[in-house]
Amino acid sequence: MSTKDAPTRAAKTLSGEPPRILVIQAPYYGEVVGGMLAGARGVLEGVGASLEVVDVAGAFEMPAALRMALGATERWDGFLMLGCVVKGETDHYDFICASVCQGAMTVASEYGAPLGFGLLTVASLDQAIARSRADQHNKGAEAAHAVLGQVTLARRWHFSHWARR
C-alpha cells in the first residue's frame, strides 16, 4: 500500500494493563526516524503505553536486537522497529533491505512476538521525509497501530511464547 492510500486509523482500545513497548530504532537518518518515533509515540501514548527506546547501529542490526530482547529477563508486550534505508548506487541497499525484512519476519514468526515493522525502504531522502512527517501518512504511526493490533491478538489468545524458555 502506498503512503497516499493509507487508511485513517481509529485510536485503539486495549483491555488490561497499558502495554510496555520496546522500540528498536536505527537512527541513521535522525530526522526521518525521529519523525517516525514521534508518530508512533502519539499512537502508543494514546493508549497509555510505556515506551523504552534503544538504538542500534543500523537497520541490519534490528532483527538481532529483537532476538536479544526476546531472550532478555525484562519483558515487553510488543516490539516496534523503526529505521530507514535509502537506495544508493550499489547493491548494498538490496541486501540490507531483504536481510532486515526476512530477519524481522523470521524472529517475530518463530517467537510469536507482536511486532510493528517500520523500516522505510525508499529511493530518496525526500520520500523518507514524506513518510515521517507529522500527518496521517506517518509510517511510524502505522507501525504503532500494527503492534497494538498484534498485542491485542496476543492478549486475546493469552499468548506469550517468547516469555517461555
Q: Is 92 one of the catalytic residues?
A: yes
- To the question of whether residue 75 is assigned a binding role by annotation, the answer is no
Per the structure block, which three cell numbers stand in for 152? 491485542
Per the structure block, which three cell numbers stand in for 63? 532483527
- To the question of whether residue 84 is assigned a binding role by annotation, the answer is yes
Q: Burial, 4: exposed, middle or buried (Cβ in 10 Å; 0-12, 13-18, 19+)?
A: exposed
- To the question of whether residue 60 is assigned a binding role by annotation, the answer is yes
- To the question of whether residue 111 is assigned a binding role by annotation, the answer is no
- To the question of whether residue 45 is assigned a binding role by annotation, the answer is no
Contact 120, 139 (CB under 8 A): yes
- To the question of whether residue 79 is assigned a binding role by annotation, the answer is no
Nearest Cα neighbor of 40 from 119, 112, 110 is: 119
Nearest Cα neighbor of 82 from 48, 43, 111 is: 43
- To the question of whether residue 86 is assigned a binding role by annotation, the answer is yes
- To the question of whether residue 164 is assigned a binding role by annotation, the answer is no
Catalytic residue among 92, 137, 145, 161: 92
Other C-beta atoms lying within 10 Å of the C-beta of residue 3: 16
The packing angle between helices 30-45 and 139-156, to 10°, is 40
- To the question of whether residue 32 is assigned a binding role by annotation, the answer is no
Q: Which residues are catalytic?
A: 92
Annotated binding-site residue numbers for 5-amino-6-(D-ribitylamino)uracil: 28, 59-61, 84-86, 117
Residues annotated in a binding site for (2S)-2-hydroxy-3-oxobutyl phosphate: 89-90, 131
